[in-house]
Chains A and B, each alone.
Chain A
Amino acid sequence: MQLTLEFGGGLELLCDSVKIHNVNVNPENGAAKLIMKDLLAWVRANLIKERPEMFMKGDSVRPGILVLVNDCDWELSGQLDTTLEEKDNVVFISTLHGG
């Protein structure tokens, strides 16, 4: 499944300072669909190069990170259970505090 993953608000620093990643991720172990929980595990294993604790806490993202699936807060689509589809765009963005 082709997905576009974007990292912002400083999270790109955890993956070699690359903001946009066009990736191919497929459901594992014969699962019928790919959900956000699977994608997070995949991202952690394949894209996060340093300080994984700055990206994840337990199964989910750490506090202060917004996750957007097709420009929509994942809270509105089922969070970790959100089902992903071909060509979906997933954004991980760390909230900023500076000014």
Chain B
Amino acid sequence: MEANGGDVARIRSELKSLKAAKSDIETRISGLEAQLRDLTLLNASTVSNGSVTGDSSCNHELSPDMIYRYSRHLLLPSFGVQGQSNILKSSILVIGAGGLGSPALLYLAASGVGRLGVVDHDIVELNNMHRQVIHTESFIGQPKVKSAATACRSINSMIKIVEHQVALRTSNALEILNQYDIIVDATDNAPSRYMISDCCVVLGKPLVSGAALGLEGQLTVYNYNGGPCYRCLFPTPPPTTACQRCADSGVLGIVPGIIGCLQALEAIKIASAIGEPLSGRMLLFDALSARIRTVKIRGRSLDCEVCGENAAFTQKQFRDFDYERFTQSRLSTAPSKLNLLPAESRISSRELMEKIVKGEPYVLVDVRPEHHFRIVSLPNAVNIPLSSLEARLPEISCALNKEGITDSEKGANLYVVCRRGNDSQRAVQILHSKGFTSARDITGGLEAWARDVDPKFPTY
């Protein structure tokens, strides 16, 4: 065992010093790459001025390297030199380097967008990897913007990649979006979507908007050539309960991948001025039935509060607008933390552990949906999903009796757990109203259990 422990310590220390050396080398590499990029761009513009090319005659600004790199684009009769030249001169901002932004950024970089910006303030996590394919394991724990920019640069060193490692807010959105011709909304929440659309209207920028959840995706282009904006379609925000998040409802990794690719396509069409952008239409993708349908949506609404006839939505109004209040939800995707119960109706995961160790009888009800319970659960927990709790109260009485906990205690030693400690509070409110007046919830749910009691307990 001791020898084993020594090995572990040695490996850890070696890893630590190797990682430090690696980080140092990476910094030097990106410095050199930046230098090289600037020199290449300089050369490219010199060559395209014509004098060096001598006998070859071309009336465009593509350097020999560019002609070779983008040759398959140039060979497309409907795209050709003009389409590629337009892309090379364009600037596109992708907001969000997640499930949608990953493929969008990869294709936009590969296709030669002259200046490609990326906004994100998150860091790369292990549970991103199944869909956020721009990131690699070695970037776990590092900013997504840095990871995405590195990937884009390794695909195409001839373009300029701009890193915006910030949370997009009304205070900085105008300044950032204004630097680009086309905006790609690859975010994951309702207030961001309203904020980005309004900002695009104020600045007069076309917006390529994509969304994905579960096994479905949606795509459209807003504020393009007299077409509708997001608010024309959705003047009133949906109730917060209708705004599901991938972190709660799940998402098949490839679904945002497909929508993100389509977003890149729409952005490329607008940038190169070819084809018909998806404005005034919406593409609906259903992965399970393998169906893509494109439907006609309303045009610009004359009554729209932001882009309508009499709308006077100014930059100042945009800066002062409270999108979190408007949508009743957070701009960041951090899960909400409810506080519905008094302290005496709650128990920490540590306290519960102590009671279990002491051998006190208890009944533990796990109110998560059944498919969550199947991922992982605490020993001895009974799964009664919140949605069916009221109908299954007799099961709880029965379990309490079996543990020898008498009715007079009205549910003493009855504990409720969920994933994060929100639904468990709602469940305890129901239990209290139904006579189980001593029921308590486990503060912070299974996430707190994993953090404070059993670090080996899986989280998801």
Contact = CB atoms under 8 A, between A and B. Distances in A.
Given A98-B212, A99-B210, A99-B246, A75 B298 contact: yes
A99 B188 contact: yes
B308 to A, nearest CB: 14
A96 B282 contact: no
A52 to B, nearest CB: 13
Contacts of A94: 238, 242
B238 A9 contact: no
Contact of B242 (A8, A62, A99): A62
B295 A97 contact: no
Contacts of B243: 97
B296 A76 contact: yes
B266 to A, nearest CB: 15
Given A73-B295, A97-B190, A98-B188, A62 B238 contact: yes
Main secondary structure, interface of B, reads mixed
A71 B237 contact: no
A93 interface: yes
B8 interface: no
Interface in B227-254: 233-239, 241-246, 249, 251
Contacts of A9: 213, 216, 218
A76 B281 CA distance: 12
A79 to B, nearest CB: 10
A73 B193 CA distance: 20
A48 interface: no
A71 B292 CA distance: 12
A54 interface: yes
Contact of A99 (B98, B282, B289): B98
Interface residues of B, number: 47
B214 interface: yes
A96 B238 contact: no
A43 to B, nearest CB: 17
A98 B212 CA distance: 5
Contact of A54 (B214, B242, B294): B242
Contacts of B235: 63
A80 interface: no
Interface string A74-99: 01100000000000000101111111
A56 to B, nearest CB: 12
Nearest to B217: A96
B295 A71 contact: yes
- Interface centre among B188, B218, B233, by most chain A C-beta atoms within 10 angstroms, is B218
A64 B329 CA distance: 14
A76 B239 CA distance: 24
B323 to A, nearest CB: 13
Given A54-B242, A64-B237, A93-B284, A99 B187 contact: yes
A68 interface: yes
A10 interface: yes
Contacts of B256: 98-99
Nearest to A76: B298
Given A73-B295, A98-B246, A99-B101, A66 B216 contact: no
Contacts of B259: 99
B58 to A, nearest CB: 41
Given A9-B216, A73-B296, A98 B237 contact: no
A95 B99 contact: no
- Interface centre among A8, A96, A98, by most chain B C-beta atoms within 10 angstroms, is A98
A62 B240 CA distance: 12
A99 B295 contact: no
B297 interface: yes
Contact of B234 (A53, A76, A95): A95
A50 B294 CA distance: 29
Nearest to A51: B241
Nearest to A8: B216
Contacts of A72: 295-296
Nearest to A55: B242
A99 B186 contact: yes
Interface string B251-286: 100001001000000000000000000000010101
Given A19-B286, A72-B295, 14 more contacts: A8-B284, A10-B242, A54-B242, A63-B235, A64-B238, A66-B233, A73-B296, A73-B298, A93-B218, A95-B233, A98-B251, A99-B99, A99-B188, A99-B210
20 contacts: A8-B216, A63-B238, A64-B234, A64-B237, A68-B295, A73-B297, A73-B298, A75-B298, A91-B295, A94-B242, A95-B211, A96-B218, A97-B244, A98-B188, A98-B244, A98-B245, A98-B251, A99-B99, A99-B186, A99-B212
